[in-house]
Structure 1
Amino acid sequence: MSLHGGIPPAIAADVRRGERLEWWTLGWMGSVVLVMWLVMGASQAMKAAVIEDLLSLIPAIVFLLAARWERRAPNARFPFGYRRANSLAFLVAATALLSVGAFLAYESISTLLRQEHPTVGGITLLGHTIWLGWLMLAALAYSVVPPVILGWLKQPVAERIKDKVLHTDALMQKADWQTGLAGIAGILGIALGWWWADAAAALFIALSIGKDATGALEQAVAELLDGTPRALDSNALSDDDTALITALKERFGDVDVRLRETGRYIAAEVDCPSPPTIPTAVELMGSDAEWRLASLSFRPEPSDGPV
């Protein structure tokens, strides 16, 4: 077992599926941004939705870049390969999600404090003047559909390949459709004369996004600091981590076991002399998860730090 480059055959098909979904994301969400920009007018929720949709493209872009880098073979400058590109992409994606929440919160709170009264005027189409709000509502309704579908499709793929970038992107899609619904509520509020509804709806969504983003950022930092593998959707230790530690202790006794994540993969270190026969990844992880164990090493004596 060695920590080198390339995507294991066991997950290659799902990684390609994830890439296809991200290309679809760039196409569909790009069309959403264009439609929303054309009709956004002076609505705070509409402006926030456009910015949010633009930022939502970042996780898709970094996933595609990380998957490409992950396939590169090790070289003299990167002898352990590029598998940690996924960890770096996860940090970028989590930061983008947090930026969306922070932006929405700032804009909404500023609007509420200034007590701005947004207005939605009319527009002339084919000789007829219609309320721009109808076009806004249509655009917002359209903006909800693609992220709902894309997020639903990404979740099971992210789970199978243990990809936190793809999972974070699914959270971003959740933020997209929630922002769209908040925008609809805001436009309807303006129509009813509730000047605060526009910003209040966006602020409510910002708090939800901020909660998801904070958790994702904690996971990303832990991964880059060689933390023990975390679950896909929380900062709790992963099931694979617990199962691997149990399997190693059953085989080698009450020894110290250290695990760290390298992208979607796990590196393990056991404080005991190297055995005559090293167990295979299948024996330790099972056939479904054996691809995750990228490195297994042994140390005759416990180490308190770098030598």
Structure 2
Amino acid sequence: MTNRRFGRTELTPELQDSLRRAVRLEWITVGYLVVAVCLIALVMGSSQAMKAAWIEDMLAFVPPIAFLVAVAVVNKPPSRRRPYGNHRAIGVGHLVAGVALLVMGSYLLLDSALGLIQGEHPPIGTFHVFGQTVWQGWFMIALMLLLVPVPVVLGRLKMKVANELHDKVLYADADMLKADWRTSVGTAVGVAGVGLGLWWFDAAAAIFIGLSIVKDGFRNVSTAITDLADSRARTIDGNDPHPLLEKVEKQARSLDWVEHAGVRMRDEGHVFHTELFVVPVGGAAQTPERLRNLAEGVIELDWKLEDVVVALVDELPAEVHGGEQHDKQSEGGRQGR
């Protein structure tokens, strides 16, 4: 995987190492999930909680597969047909993963709630091991507790790489894995409750798992749609405007021929498409060389600033980042006069 690119952006050796690590972690996750799904299927019996945990692990295949496919697609350079490149593959993969979680989580939540309302008592059988009869619930509880550490560790490792690559599919996958321990513990508690004669514990645990899946699905669908709808670039968790907005403006305003600057920046996946609007100082010469130097200076700020366009304007549009402040300053100036 040498000389990997995100579109026309050639990754630094450090970022190439991060990408290789991310791909390796996703393949490890797929291998872990194969083992987990098979083991849960062997012991789950009629338990609603175990069924919910099994479905969640099946859904957990979607984000790593979406990431691996998206990385292969996004490596293709821009063309006449796709002048912006294939970076949106990340957003599409993010949306697919979110929709899968939301749909299946909703189904699981309704199915578990219906079982609780109808008062279904889950039968948990027995296994014969070395001539001894052992309650099947012990195997369920032991398995779910054994499955706690691996996703937590994988989630933490992926989170670091996701931030380095600004990859929201990988970030969503890491976030889900970090929280996966709650599913395992909740399932074990549900099965233990059945063993204590509290039949409703099983359905309650399944409902808890369903709510967790729906929450993950809703958050990921919301973030993916926001990015695909060309909202202002935000941090990888989707909570705040991205710091590069301010950095690009500051870079432009540091030049003596620039009076005001505003940025319109959208997240295309790993990289940002950036439009920099500049109001020049009155009388300042506006040469192609100056504009080119400004664009190159912005690109050097961060590897994610792949596609930068500089436009000269008489006044900043209000919708660009920084335009609101400029409008306020202009209004204050008019009132002062």
| Residue 28 (structure 1) aligned with residue 28 (structure 2) | no
* Counterpart code for 2:289: P
Residues matched between the structures, number? 301
What's the secondary structure of 2:155's corresponding residue?
Answer: helix
How far has the Cα of 1:112 moved from its partner? 1.6
Identical columns (%) = 37
Larger Rg: 2
Matches of 2:249 and 2:100, distance apart in 1: 33
What's the TM-score once normalised by structure 1's chain length? 0.88
**Which whole-Å deviations, capped at 9, do the CAs of 1:245-279 have from their partners, x for residues lacking one?**
44334543324421111111111112347753334
How far has the Cα of 1:148 moved from its partner? 1.2
What's the TM-score once normalised by structure 2's chain length? 0.80
Q: Indicate conservation of the 8 Å contact 2:233/2:241, yes or no.
A: yes
Q: Indicate conservation of the 8 Å contact 1:175/1:205, yes or no.
A: no
What residue is the counterpart of 1:170 in the other structure? Answer: 174
Q: Which moved more, 1:232-241 or 1:142-151?
A: 232-241
Say if 1:266 and 1:185 are closer, same or farther in 2 by CA, change over 3 A: same
Which of 279, 282, 295 aligns to 2:307? It is 295
Matches of 2:249 and 2:213, distance apart in 1: 34
Which structure is higher in RCO with an 8 Å CA cutoff and minimum separation 6?
1
Which of 260, 270, 282 aligns to 1:264? It is 270
Q: Indicate conservation of the 8 Å contact 1:230/1:236, yes or no.
A: yes
Which of 133, 136, 142 aligns to 2:137? It is 133
How far has the Cα of 1:85 moved from its partner? 1.3
How far has the Cα of 1:300 moved from its partner? 3.6
Matches of 2:268 and 2:229, distance apart in 1: 10
What's the secondary structure of 1:293's corresponding residue?
Answer: coil
How far has the Cα of 1:286 moved from its partner? 6.8
What residue is the counterpart of 1:254 in the other structure? Answer: 260
What residue is the counterpart of 1:243 in the other structure? Answer: 247
How far has the Cα of 1:126 moved from its partner? 3.0
Matches of 2:111 and 2:35, distance apart in 1: 24
**Which ranges in structure 2 are unaligned for 5 or more consecutive residues?**
1-5, 279-285, 320-337
How far has the Cα of 1:37 moved from its partner? 0.3
**Which whole-Å deviations, capped at 9, do the CAs of 1:148-169 have from their partners, x for residues lacking one?**
1111111111111111010110
Q: After TM superposition, which residue ranges in structure 1, 4 or more long, deviate above 6 angstroms?
A: 302-305
What residue is the counterpart of 1:51 in the other structure? Answer: 55
**Which whole-Å deviations, capped at 9, do the CAs of 1:25-60 have from their partners, x for residues lacking one?**
000111000000000001000011111101101000
What residue is the counterpart of 1:148 in the other structure? Answer: 152
Q: Indicate conservation of the 8 Å contact 1:274/1:300, yes or no.
A: no
**Aligned CA-pair RMSD:** 2.6
**Which whole-Å deviations, capped at 9, do the CAs of 1:126-181 have from their partners, x for residues lacking one?**
32211001111122122222211111111111111111010110122134322111
**Which whole-Å deviations, capped at 9, do the CAs of 1:61-96 have from their partners, x for residues lacking one?**
010111111222334433432222112112122223
**Which ranges in structure 1 are unaligned for 5 or more consecutive residues?**
none
